[in-house]
Chains A and B, each alone.
Chain A
Amino acid sequence: MKRLVFFAMVLIFCVSAFTLYAQNQKEPQKKTAPSGVCPPFYLKDEAGNIIDPVNNVNADKPYSPKQTCGAKGCHDYNKITEGFHFTQGKGEKPTPDMEKRYLWVSTPGDYGGTWCSPAPLYRGLAPKKNTDPRKIDMTSFDYIAATCGYCHPGGGPLEYDREGNRYDEHMKKQGMKSGEENNLDGDYFKARWSDTGIIEADCLLCHMPEYNFKDRNKQIDNLTFKWAATAGSGLGKVEGSIKESKPVRVTYDISKFDDKGMISPHMVKEPRNTTCLHCHSKPGWKKRGASFSPRTDVHIRAGLRCVDCHPAGNRAQDKRIQGKEVHQIGKGDDPSGHVRDDLDNTMLDCKYCHTNGYLGASIAKHDGLPPHHLEKIACQTCHIPWRYAKAAQVQVSDVFNPAPKISPPPKRIWTFYDTDMNYWNHYGELNMFTKEDQTTNPFRPVLIRYKGKIYPANRVHSAWPGLMEDGKSGLNQPLMKDIFMMWQMHNENPSKYSELSRIVDDSGDGVPEVNKPEEIDAVINSVRQYLTDTKYDLTGKKVVWILNDKLYSSGNKWEKLPKHDYEASPYASVYKYSHDVAPAKAALGSKGCSDCHSKNSHFFFAQVLEYPFGDDGKPITVKQADLLGYKEVPSGRNPWTYWTGVFFKYLTIVVLFGLVVHMILDALRYYRKRS
């Protein structure tokens, strides 16, 4: 017995000792630094050296966001700049549709793609390799300088060339000369990277609410690219100009540095609406008639922020964009926006918030609404019944726009018509107004069927001179500046390209438009003549004129171009509306079913634009229901519905056939018997 007790005690001792040992062997908890707010830090220059203006160390150098924010142990600059806001399509292949249509497109994004213009003509990114300087339009350098850099936050094509070399370093390494032809390389032709430096991804542009875009963009105008981040952040004042060959000097604002020469600026994790709108407001106005204001948008009125629906990083819900430092911002799916299509619909959609009440969203009930409405009609269709600011429904690039305050002058080859087909001096308004001054111009959106659902949208219509190339599918565009110069020369001396004088106003709105055969011929002949005169090689090329999906090789000869049903033209954008959402009480259906199901409803019976100009210069329209492809309520697509229909149809035929035969025989017998 004593032996048994002894062994039991030894066993208990061993187990206890082992447990204590095992507990002590647990991994010590890793100490993590408090996160969420950056501690005071030093600015660093491009070489990674500390900039300390308080102690006059490297105080003459502009700071480098890459070296400062992307310093070891801080942020992953490379991962961050994979975001599509930085790449702007660089490195992506165009979509199959784009490859078939556009000969000038090399990526699906603004950089190398269809630019941010609703329709041609616009500046096209020059190919990397070129043989004829006459045909080089916009180089990567011009891409920044031609005001595209105003919005694009740096990194991507503003930092590296198409082969992944940093522009300024590569230029020096290859012995390229600033402002020279540099082997007609589309990234370096007449570029001045070695002087201007490059534009790194500028973190503070989004993360500093007080960021000064005006000062930053001034550096783009002055070609002082690498000083842009310093000026925009307000940490230093930049004087001088590469463009004007004035020495560039930075003077840091010492008051923003502590005694050690470190800074702790006001930075936020989630950009404010004003930051997003700095870039998205103007294009949103032109393309969609967007206002993004509490007056027009129930979400902004409720205090929501852009990032609430368009989250990124750890706040993103969608696994495709979720993760630390991931700067892919949740996005929707625009018919004409093809940058990172694989990330379409990564934002929080209406359903997400309005089914679970996220951020205090009201729960959508839709009582009494047959469910196929929600299946076939996008939320936006009913909840954006009206738009309140003009949008460019038509952009033509074949006549000269003499209206006031259009700047820079080449933009005069664009003439816009609003959604009521009235002439619209959009750039004049942009020159005079901010978005707060948008004139009130209510209109009903056109409805399109896109990916199986009905959406409100602006399907842009276009007319432009183009180039057909032998053996190639799709079209090319002449250089925007050529068409501008052609008109400019004609305006100064009407005997030059005199056929252009034939183009007159037929619609009576005071604005000439190309619509009659002789006017079409005038455009085609004049463009051909101008290009020939200016040594543009037209071998294997033919000048044509395109109106929406009609390709005119002469005034009387045209062929149809393939396009999607939701498009007005294969060469003009389609912009869905998702912002400026009306409250439920103002949505379609709030006054009952007759909002749509009545003979005067806009939903089915509105006349929507098919071609901007007919023979009389007046618009040609089509019934909205026809555009949506309505033949009957599409209920046969679901196999269950289809077979239910088939069953009842055959049941009806068989039963009625039997009954009618029975009746006829019965009647015949009766009369036969009587006779």
Chain B
Amino acid sequence: MFLSVTALVITAIPLWCLRYPHSRALTGIIDFFGGLEAIRTWHHMAGWILTFAFAYHLLYVFVHPEGRRDFLLMMPRRKDFQDLYHNILYFIGKRNEPPQFGRFSYFEKFDYWGAFWGCIIMVGTGLIMLYPSKANSLLSAGLGSTIFAVALEAHYHEAILATLALFIWHMFNVHVRPEKFPGSLVWFHGNITEKERHKEHPLEDEEIDKYKTFKEQ
């Protein structure tokens, strides 16, 4: 996902330039990247990698017990909204302590669902644009150009939203945030230290301790 999204963002830059075909400077960027066909090929390849990554994730969610468990834990709950409210009060100094999070904090859930929604939109609209005539016959015959135009518009705007969220919000939370800088490698190996868990996910930590105590008894 890391590789595909990075490649998609980079190759999307000249494709974005295509929105202004009358600008010689922006068209020059397309030429710099090797022409539209080359860029499209790379973009499509990266798109397919993302599609397979997303498909793998869905499979993991449906098939693997841990996947199912984590997916259910990712579901938004009332506590998430309470945590957000609590956190804002904490930020502005009305509370002394931040909220205590379980396995997934509300902003991690936001990240997850942002990526989940983003994948659905980007993969769906991407496939429509890649196979317009098939999409036309499957979705609604005769609306080919409308469906294509809507897909193009959604793809374009969602790409901007996802990129901005990625480079501003995600980057801040996992890299730039003073407590996190320069970032953890949990995305790479999937492991978190007990110290980190204790600090960032105290409720999960508590739960695990209880489970251990229960097992020992």
Contact = CB atoms under 8 A, between A and B. Distances in A.
Nearest to B171: A663
A659 B19 contact: no
B115 interface: no
Given A641-B153, A648-B158, A597 B18 contact: yes
A605 interface: yes
A21 interface: no
A598 interface: yes
Interface residues of A, number: 47
A648 B88 contact: no
Interface string A185-196: 000000000000
A670 B92 CA distance: 11
B5 to A, nearest CB: 17
B172 interface: yes
Contacts of A601: 27
B20 interface: yes
A389 B88 CA distance: 74
A370 B88 CA distance: 46
A311 to B, nearest CB: 27
Contacts, number: 131
B36 A594 contact: yes
A135 B107 CA distance: 86
Contact of A666 (B152, B168, B177): B177
B158 A593 contact: no
Interface string A658-673: 0110110111111110
B91 A641 contact: no
A592 B36 contact: yes
Contacts of B129: 370
Interface residues of B, number: 44
A648 B153 CA distance: 9
A665 B21 contact: no
Interface stretch (B61-69, B75-83, B140-148, B185-193): B140-148
A508 B92 CA distance: 76
A328 to B, nearest CB: 30
Interface in A602-651: 604-605, 623, 625-626, 628, 630-633, 635, 638, 640-641, 644-645, 648-649, 651
Interface of A: 370-372, 374-375, 592-594, 596-599, 601, 604-605, 623, 625-626, 628, 630-633, 635, 638, 640-641, 644-645, 648-649, 651-652, 655-656, 659-660, 662-663, 665-672
Given A592-B36, A645-B157, 19 more contacts: A370-B132, A371-B144, A592-B37, A594-B36, A594-B37, A599-B30, A604-B24, A604-B27, A628-B22, A632-B19, A633-B21, A635-B152, A648-B158, A656-B161, A660-B168, A662-B107, A665-B91, A669-B91, A669-B93
24 contacts: A370-B148, A371-B145, A371-B149, A372-B148, A592-B36, A597-B18, A598-B35, A599-B24, A604-B21, A604-B24, A605-B24, A632-B20, A633-B18, A635-B149, A644-B150, A648-B153, A648-B161, A651-B157, A652-B157, A666-B91, A668-B91, A669-B92, A669-B93, A670-B177
Q: Which 10 pairs show the lowest CB-CB distances between chains A and B?
A: A648-B157, A625-B22, A665-B91, A593-B36, A630-B22, A371-B145, A659-B169, A652-B161, A641-B149, A669-B91
